[in-house]
Amino acid sequence: MMRKRKIFIIILIIFGLVSNNLTWADYQNQQEVIKLKEIVVTAQVEDRKLVATPASISLITAAEIQEMGAKTIAQIIENIPGMVHENSTRDYITVRGNRSSQSSGVLVLVNGVPANSGVSGYTEYDAIPVSDIETIEVLRSSGSIIYGPDAARGVINIITKKGESKSPKTRISATYGSWDTKEVSAGISGGINKWNYAFGASFLDTDGYADDNKKREAVRMDIGYSFSESTDISYNIAWHEVDYDTIYGRTKWQIDNFRNDSIFPTSATNDTLIHYRENSDESLSQSLKLSHNAENFFLTGFLCYDDTDHVYDYLKYRLNPAYNKTSSYYDYREDRDQKRSLARLFGGYHFDFDKIAYTPAFGIDFEKTDFDQKKSYPWSPVPNSASQLTAIAKGDLNTQKKRLGVFTSNEFLFGEKWELNLDLRFDNVKYDIKNAQPKHVSNEDSDYSWKIAPAWHPCPDSTIYTSVSKSFWYPVLIYYNYAMQYGDTENRPEDLKPEEYLTFELGYKHYFNSKLSLALAGYYMKTEDKYLSLYDESDWKGYQNVGKAEHKGIEIEASGRINSLMGYRFSGAWQDVKWDDANFRAYVWGATPASDTRQNVDISGKQVPQIPEYTASFGLDFYFWDYFKLSNDVNYIGSRHIDVLNRYKTDDHFTFDTMLSFTRKNYKFWILGSNLFNKESESMFNETGKRNADGTPAHLYYPVDGRYIEAGVTITF
């Protein structure tokens, strides 16, 4: 069925490319982007200039994305202050230290359609073609009032290229880089009378730095119609398929000797080869949006549906001949299917009472997600063993999540300088999870989220704001599934609670002139019922609410064009994320590793693992000979703790990126280098602080990409 959909979408795109007599517009070099003056849509009531929004929002434009040479969304936003890109088997984004293991971090939206999918709510960042993106808006504080509790950990709002009511414009791009990385993309956009359209297609194929092969195909179509200057409707349909290999964490010996391999020996003393996991993710999404913005009244209606098929093959033992002789063969397949529907209606009215303007807005949304999983052992002799049959019964899932939300936003403007925002939301969330054992869990939660945000605008291009908010993040389905499977008395599924965030934020934004745009934000956040792994004395048992955490930090962004020859940009963050009142079962070290025992200990005052205290990025752009631009960036990642008791830390490190581009009329050529000095670094995981028999840490190591060199060309007609 999904293959038929693919053919259908390709036919639509071909039809769009050939069905019109096109008059090509002259290409104009893009002007410098003054981001704080840009309009953002991730706002409470209506679209506003970035400098006027009373929230910590960062903006990345299509021009900046092209200058980066990034291949994924994660690479694009990893240098935004407060954002941490975690490398392991896939890309994860943590905002202000609030992500928990095997769960989503931020809510990712693509033209309003949630991109988080699966039993863990992950986002396939590799599946979103960066060539098709117009802007990315990143909300670092909670966005749950408008977008629901999945946005309590922040929002990445991706807006793709749209058509305009003028002559068609076609863009073709091709790149080739390290690790035999090939990417081609094409798009056309324009308008006819009251219609506008945009079509895009892309293809990516790479061997990957660690021989983690990846292939992606994606197509998209967006059609809009304007009934009037104030009313329009748009339809978007997008399809992607991404196939990729991943590894489980390596040992220290494996990372030292087989850093760039996906198949490698089990250990220095065991030459049995290991090959871990293969994934195939195919998704089709559709959305319909109706927008009406009159002088005083505004209304938005949004409907979307997405269908995702994901096949996950665990292949650790496939290359070991000893395992395929009996029915104890452990390699398995999980075939996952998710269908999700979302409807949202939001509207309000502007009242003007002389010196006070009041805009109340009300909304309602409903989301239903069905997720099914079938587990099998296709490489194992039949019949399956008793242990395999038990694993199949636990792995065959039928789950459903329903969410109903009602919300209101209230904006008060007192003259031209003061404003006050009062927002409230109610959510009812229901879970229903079954497996084939059979076991069945149902749970229901209802909570109120709110936000109070006063702001002062000293001048039209400056905002000082503060806010206090409460929001809730509801556990992903896999947390309920683990609790149901293990049946541990310490972690009953009916006892799982949503994480609760109480956040205080103070911010300052100012567009001084083209030489300086500045944004500062400071925050303090208390987290109740934060999630962490559960262990008994001998084994892992899933995830549970372990206690409280305290998050605080300072974030800064600055950019400008000093003169016609040079521009700059800087971003940085300081983060301090500690457990405030929590307990965790970790390894307590004895006189020797053999005497280490796993004990329940108080971790209050310990730093939350995987959160660097400092991150920063500084870039300089040089413009010369009219058509050339040289961009250079230095990126810094501070050290971070690995285990919950803070006995192990990673090293901090710098990387250097550079790009030289030549733009002339409708052509652009470039060559770029990421991590140019090939700095070797790894993500390391070992939350319990386990030691090997020789006393060395039993970390799992995941290599971060080394040096990448790319050349590319873009032609615009």
Q: Is the pLDDT of residue 18 over 60?
A: no
Beta strands in 17-115 (DSSP E): 39-40, 48-49, 57-61, 83-87, 91-95, 107-110, 113-114
User: Pick from 151, 80, 142, 107: which is nearest to 468 by CA?
Assistant: 142
Helices within 568-661 (DSSP H only): none
Q: What is the pLDDT of residue 327?
A: 66
Helices within 199-284 (DSSP H only): 252-257
Q: What is the distance between the alpha carbons of residues 243 and 660, in angstroms, rounded to a whole number? A: 31
pLDDT digits (tens, 9 = 90+) for 360-408: 999 999 999 999 999 999 888 778 888 889 999 999 999 999 999 999 9
User: Pick from 218, 155, 216: which is nearest to 186 by CA?
Assistant: 218
User: Pick from 82, 75, 85: which is nearest to 613 by CA?
Assistant: 82
Question: Which of the four pLDDT bands, split at 50, 70 and 90, describes residue 162?
Answer: confident
Domains of the chain: total: 1
How does DSSP classify residue 50?
G
Is residue 141 within 8 Å of residue 449, measured between CB atoms? no
H-run or E-run covering 15? helix 2-18
Q: What is the distance between the alpha carbons of residues 669 and 57, in angstroms, rounded to a whole number? A: 31
Peptide bond before 321: cis, by omega within 30 degrees of 0? Answer: no
Question: What's the start-to-end Cα distance of the chain, in Å?
Answer: 36
Q: What is the distance between the alpha carbons of residues 332 and 328, in angstroms, rounded to a whole number? A: 11
pLDDT digits (tens, 9 = 90+) for 186-211: 999 998 888 999 999 999 999 988 87
pLDDT digits (tens, 9 = 90+) for 312-323: 999 888 787 777
Tokens of residue 612, six digits:
């660097």
Q: What is the pLDDT of residue 677?
A: 94
Lowest mean pLDDT among 86-90, 240-244, 463-467: 86-90
pLDDT digits (tens, 9 = 90+) for 255-299: 999 998 888 898 888 888 888 889 999 999 999 999 999 889 999
Q: Is the pLDDT of residue 26 over 50?
A: no
Is residue 585 within 8 Å of residue 536, measured between CB atoms? yes
Lowest mean pLDDT among 90-94, 111-115, 570-574: 90-94
Write out the residue range of the structural domain in which residue 492 sits: 2-716
Q: What is the distance between the alpha carbons of residues 31 and 49, in angstroms, rounded to a whole number? A: 18
Question: Which of the four pLDDT bands, split at 50, 70 and 90, describes residue 19?
Answer: very low
Q: What is the distance between the alpha carbons of residues 358 and 360, in angstroms, rounded to a whole number? A: 6
How does DSSP classify residue 222?
E
The position carrying tokens 């650790």 is: 316
Give the CATH number of the domain where residue 87 resides: 2.40.170.20
Q: What is the distance between the alpha carbons of residues 277 and 281, in angstroms, rounded to a whole number? A: 13
Question: Which of the four pLDDT bands, split at 50, 70 and 90, describes residue 35?
Answer: low
**pTM passes above 0.85:** yes
Tokens of residue 243, six digits:
């196939």
Tokens of residue 289, six digits:
């949006």
- Chain centroid to Cα 461, Å, comes to 30
User: Pick from 615, 675, 611: which is nearest to 649 by CA?
Assistant: 611
User: Pick from 651, 648, 653, 581: which is nearest to 609 by CA?
Assistant: 648
